[in-house]
Each structure stands twice: as structure tokens, then as C-alpha cells.
Amino acid sequence: MSLNTLILTGNLGSNPRFALTTTGKQKATFSLATSRTFRGQKHTEWTPVILWGTLATRAEKLLSKGQAVLIHGEKRTRSYTDTHGVERQVVELVASDFQILSRKQAEPREEAAQ
């Protein structure tokens, strides 16, 4: 038996970016900052997070830069070829749920300002 579950708590590094796939499915992406202190020095890891469907729609309404969140999901590794033709791999967290841990007033969303 194997289990692929990842739970991270951290802060959004930017407002989520939203897109519709060619099939009309909503997708949201952002980087999550998780920090730890080791030998007196703070170290921050950035994890790409992907949300799909109704979860992405919920994120669009609720999440913004700087908010503390708990993300539950699966670790996924994918390969791609960059613009220079180099094969790359990226490890991402594909979310199955999230909880907001802070109600911090973040920067106003651009869409709301229009």
C-alpha cells in the first residue's frame, strides 16, 4: 500500500492566477511559502500549488497574497521542456482542499478595483 498525501501550511506569495482550460475547466495556481529556522537562519521553501474546478473557483473568491492557509493534496512531479530546449521537472502540490488560517487584509485584487 502507498499513500501520496501532502499537507502544508504557509503563506500565499502572490494572488492566485486563474485560467480556463480548453475544455472549460477552471484552474488556479500560486506559490506557497513555507518557512523554518535552522541554526538561527530562516529558510523559505516555495511550493507551486494547483487547484482545479470548484476548488479553484472557491480560491478565486477567498484567497489573496499574504494569507496563511493550510493546503491538503497530492505531490505530483511533471516534466516539461523549457524555452531553451532543456528537459525540466517540477514538483507541485495538487490541492484537494484548503483552509484559510488568517483573515489578513491583503492587497486589493485588480479585478475588484475595476
Residue 112 within a domain: no
> Where does the chain show beta strands of DSSP type E?
6-12, 17-20, 26-38, 41-52, 68-81, 87-100
Domains of the chain: total: 1
Residue 114 within a domain: no
Low-confidence ranges of the chain (pLDDT < 70): 104-114
Residue 108 within a domain: no
pLDDT at 18: 96
Rg of the chain on CA atoms, in Å: 15
Q: Any residues with CB less than 8 A from the CB of 36 and at least 6 apart, and which?
A: 42, 43, 45
Q: How much is the pTM? A: 0.82
Give the count of alpha carbons within 13 A of 13, CB side only: 13
Residue 34 within a domain: yes
* Owning domain of residue 20: 6-103
C-alpha cell at position 37: 529556522
Residue 87 within a domain: yes
CATH number of the domain to which 29 belongs: 2.40.50.140
Residue 1 within a domain: no
Residue 75 within a domain: yes
